[in-house]
Amino acid sequence: MDPDELLKVRDHYDARMRRDAPPDAPGARVERVGAVVRQTAPGLGWNGVVWSALDEATADAEIAAQVAHFASRPPQEGGGEFEWKLYSHDRPADLGERLRAAGFVPEPPETLLVARTAELAGLPVRPPEGITLRVVTDEAGVELMMEVHHRAFGTRRPRIREQMLTLLRDEPDTIEAVLAMAGEVPVSAARMEMRPGSPFAGLWGGGTDPEWRGRGIYRLLVAHRARVAAARGIPYLQVDASDDSRPILERLGFGVLGVTTPYIWPASA
């Protein structure tokens, strides 16, 4: 996609996935309050701000209002820690500095990438020798995915585990989770989330055991999910890519829409 088309897609993404954001799981509630769109979710669900239309005169008061909102709720109903998902084109230009001044802690930035689903669905990707794909449909498969993610990223992700189990149980058509298996050993895992009516399918969690990297498994999982999205008629794939994933995705044809940085309000603040 050329720069003009990428700008149009970015505006489309902002409108459909941020300003009119759908809830990302059963039980979550998305609401627009003034110049902010936020999600509040029970249990281990994701809580945070997904879109804002602020300026220098309104930003600090709006930040304080969102802190007050999440602080006022009990932990089981979305209270405590939450994320302000900041994009590089958000305004005011110093919004990140204002969030830090208010007590938010930035996590490593990621690159927002997008590609046309149809162009990736036909990728000529063959599984490496000894690798097979297994679609995840139950708790046992989710546990294998969590095992891979721990080896790939070095962290435990109880929120992701809970979200996947909830979607597989309550909204199985909105998630495609897949494992790359070497025999009976999981070596890579990824998922795709497809909210009803959304023109963007989100690719998440792509991680490979360090001993199995560099063999084309990550590309294989991207191609598999692209084929599923294309069969559903979803026109775009979207990824928040790490520095490790970005070069692979750009070689596959993804274009850059911008940079996104998670700003975290810690539960203990």
Task: Mark whether 175 and 226 lie in a shared domain.
Answer: yes
Q: What is the CB neighbour count within 10 angstroms for residue 16?
A: 17
Residues 10, 133: one domain? no
Among residues 244, 267, 242, which one has the least CA distance to residue 112?
242
Q: Say yes or no: 100 and 119 in one domain.
A: no
Do β-strands 105-106 and 82-87 pair in parallel, antiparallel, or remain unpaired?
unpaired
Q: Determine the Cα–Cα distance for residues 198 and 235; give it in Å rounded to an integer.
A: 9
207-224 residue pLDDT tens:
999 999 999 999 999 999
Residue 73 sits in the same domain as residue 202: no
Taking 50 as the pLDDT cut, the residues of the chain under it are: none
Both 91 and 139 in a single domain?
A: no
Query: What pLDDT digit, counting tens, does each position of 69-122 carry?
Result: 999 887 777 678 999 999 999 999 999 999 999 999 999 999 999 999 999 998
- What CATH number does the domain containing 220 carry? 3.40.630.30
> What is the spatial distance between Cα 153 and Cα 192, in angstroms, rounded to a whole number?
18
Closest by Cα among 69, 73, 105 to 86: 105
Q: CATH number for the domain including 103?
A: 3.40.630
Based on the fold, state whether residues 119 and 95 are members of the same structural domain. no
Query: Could you list the residue range(s) of the whole structural domain that residue 92 is in?
Result: 3-111+261-265
- What pLDDT score does 30 carry? 96
166 and 217 belong to one structural domain: yes
The verdict on 103 and 143 lying in the same domain is no
Q: Tell me, what's the pLDDT at 247?
A: 94
189 and 239 in a single domain? The answer is yes
pLDDT at 87: 98
Looking at the fold, whether 100 and 163 belong to one and the same domain comes out as: no
Instruction: Check whether residue 126 and residue 185 sit in a common domain.
Output: yes
Phi-psi region of 252 (alpha: psi -120 to 50; beta: other; left: phi over 0): alpha
C-alpha span between 253 and 255 (Å, rounded): 6
Q: What is the CA radius of gyration of the chain?
A: 19
Q: What is the pLDDT of residue 269?
A: 57
Let me know whether 141 and 97 are in one domain: no
pLDDT of residue 126: 83
For residue 78, what pLDDT is reported? 67
The tally of domains found in the chain comes to 2
